[in-house]
Amino acid sequence: MCGIFGIYPHKEAAKITYLGLYALQHRGEESAGIITYNGKKPHLHKALGLVSDVFDEKNIKDLKGELAVGHTRYSTTGSTTLKNAQPFYVKSKGSHIAIAHNGNLVNASRLQRELEDKGALFQTTSDSEVIAHLISHSPKKDYQEAIPWALSQLEGAYSLVLMFNNILIAARDPLGFRPLCLGKSGASYVLASETCAFDLIGAEYIRDILPGEIVFIQKDRIDSQRPVIKKTCSFCIFEYIYFSRPDSSIFQQNVYSARKKLGEALAGEFPVKADIVMPVPDSGTCAALGYAQALGIPYEMGMIRNHYIGRTFIQPHQAMRDFRVKIKLNPVKTVLENKKVVIIEDSIVRGTTSRARVKTIREAGAKEVHMGISCPPLVSPCFYGIDFPTKKELIAARHSVDWIRDFIGADSLKYLSKEGMLNAMPLPKDKFCCACFDGQYPLEPPKKISKYILE
């Protein structure tokens, strides 16, 4: 789970990238970084924390150059350390190479072993580092051959924004798991995980980087290669359900509309005669709207979100009951008192926050609490870039829906069926990876960790 961004050529490349990362903050809150290149040398600044914590006027001013690559990180492999923060930078055979990666490689351990045998020294525990080493170990000298060669060694999910001296490069794995869009702002080309980043900087969306495509952006030209064309693709369906921002278009379709359709589909399968429909803000908001409109039930905000919680807050010494839950979402008693409530959430992972929400709504006076989930039960971990816990911790992998209903304390619980979810999607069914719902992995999971994760 990461956000990636790139721009070239632009006089304020670092500043625009900072804004782009701001728009992509939801894709990763652990670290942020920007690298620029001014034709002579690179300038890199990265640190742990939110984009607004990591950058200020001064360090952005020091990032000189018309080419910039940015990254926000939410780790799926590797720990939360500064070393693992991206973009990664290496100088190899006189070339300056930087990498911003969104996704997860499934053959990273094998590639790392092979590269180490050839003398590569790894500095991080992130799978993305192998990409830098592969480029620098390429038997091909020319970047137009070296980069396709390096990418041809990779298996897994990768949307990439790369810097190779003064060339900005975008690439997507042949199955296209994660999104990556190309835009234009004046004379500058822009790359971003999601189109919401283009809206903020006033760039125009041109097209998606295609699965298997590599795009080379130079000051005065743009070239594309597509060495691998697969008949199928594996777009991550969870990007539509939870991960991307609703104001974005990914895989060429708007996320807000897709989420509303999921809510409408849920209404068809779970038509509760309730007094009010409410979302878990913000994750369930669009689906709850679709659900309420389909059934003609009043849509209310039964819980209000506090938007000012930083990453850490000072906990009271004396343990206050449900403090963590309450500080984020507070119930509106007058909305909930004596009501039969349907609460809509996008997904249940471990079940612990859903349980706390139901309890809060009951304590605020709701008469009945019914819960609708706008996707099927999550039963299998993701190996392609979404941060889910191990199978053991995924509540639906071990328990029936009835058991989960009792655990979260709802009067009824309904997950949207897989069929209902796929029919609600704006693209044909066979375009999606649904492995988290059905365990059908389009690429074999990495052997070493999958035993532990899938047990």
Report, as residue numbers or ranges, the catalytic residues: 2
Shortest distance (Å) from residue 298 CB to ligand AMP:
22
Output 163 or 280, the one with its CB closest to ligand AMP: 280
CA distances from 307 to 185, 194, 255, 279, 334 (A): 31, 22, 22, 16, 21
Does 388 contact ligand AMP by CB under 6 A?
Answer: yes
Shortest distance (Å) from residue 353 CB to ligand AMP:
4
Shortest distance (Å) from residue 19 CB to ligand AMP:
25
Shortest distance (Å) from residue 388 CB to ligand AMP:
5
Does 386 contact ligand AMP by CB under 6 A?
Answer: yes
Q: Provide CB contacts within 8 A for 28, sequence distance 6+.
A: 1, 2, 3, 71, 72, 73, 74
Token duo for residue 131: 């990409």
Output 34 or 369, the one with its CB closest to ligand AMP: 369
Shortest distance (Å) from residue 36 CB to ligand AMP:
31
Count the residues of the shown chain that bind ligand AMP, applying the rule CB under 6 A: 16
Write out the binding residues for ligand AMP, residues 266-325 only, by CB under 6 A. Answer: 280, 283
Residue in 32, 53, 52 with CA at minimum distance from that of residue 44: 32
Residue in 170, 197, 183, 181 with CA at minimum distance from that of residue 17: 197
Length of the chain: 455
Output 148 or 246, the one with its CB closest to ligand AMP: 246
Instruction: Pick the piece of the chain touching ligand AMP (CB under 6 A) from 81-89, 94-102, 260-268, 384-392.
Output: 384-392
The CA distance from 421 to 142, in Å, is: 45
Angle CA 157–104–131, to nearest 5 = 85
Q: Residue 156: which region, alpha, beta or left (left: phi > 0; alpha: psi -120 to 50)? A: left
Output 137 or 259, the one with its CB closest to ligand AMP: 259
Instruction: Pick the piece of the chain touching ligand AMP (CB under 6 A) from 125-133, 214-222, 295-303, 382-390.
Output: 382-390
Shortest distance (Å) from residue 343 CB to ligand AMP:
11
* Count of CB atoms situated within 10 Å of the CB of 112: 18
Residue in 132, 172, 149 with CA at minimum distance from that of residue 4: 172
Instruction: Pick the piece of the chain touching ligand AMP (CB under 6 A) from 32-40, 53-61, 380-388, 420-428.
Output: 380-388
Does 126 contact ligand AMP by CB under 6 A?
Answer: no
Instruction: Pick the piece of the chain touching ligand AMP (CB under 6 A) from 90-98, 99-107, 256-264, 381-389.
Output: 381-389
Pairing of strands 214-217, 368-373: unpaired
Angle CA 66–70–74, to nearest 5 = 180
Residue in 238, 236, 258 with CA at minimum distance from that of residue 249: 258
Shortest distance (Å) from residue 328 CB to ligand AMP:
10
Output 151 or 356, the one with its CB closest to ligand AMP: 356
Output 66 or 345, the one with its CB closest to ligand AMP: 345
The CA distance from 18 to 32, in Å, is: 9
Using the Cα atoms of residue 7, residue 10, residue 13 and residue 15 in order, give the sign of their dihedral: negative
Output 60 or 325, the one with its CB closest to ligand AMP: 325
Write out the binding residues for ligand AMP, residues 347-366 only, by CB under 6 A. Answer: 347-354
φ, ψ at 321 (rounded to 5°): -60, 130
Shortest distance (Å) from residue 74 CB to ligand AMP:
8
Instruction: Pick the piece of the chain touching ligand AMP (CB under 6 A) from 6-14, 129-137, 224-232, 342-350.
Output: 342-350
Instruction: Pick the piece of the chain touching ligand AMP (CB under 6 A) from 120-128, 149-157, 309-317, 345-353.
Output: 345-353
Whether the bond into 9 is cis, omega within 30 of 0: yes
Output 229 or 309, the one with its CB closest to ligand AMP: 309
Write out the binding residues for ligand AMP, residues 216-275 only, by CB under 6 A. Answer: 242
Residue in 318, 327, 101, 277 with CA at minimum distance from that of residue 193: 101
Contact positions toward ligand AMP, by CB under 6 A? 242, 280, 283, 345-354, 386-388
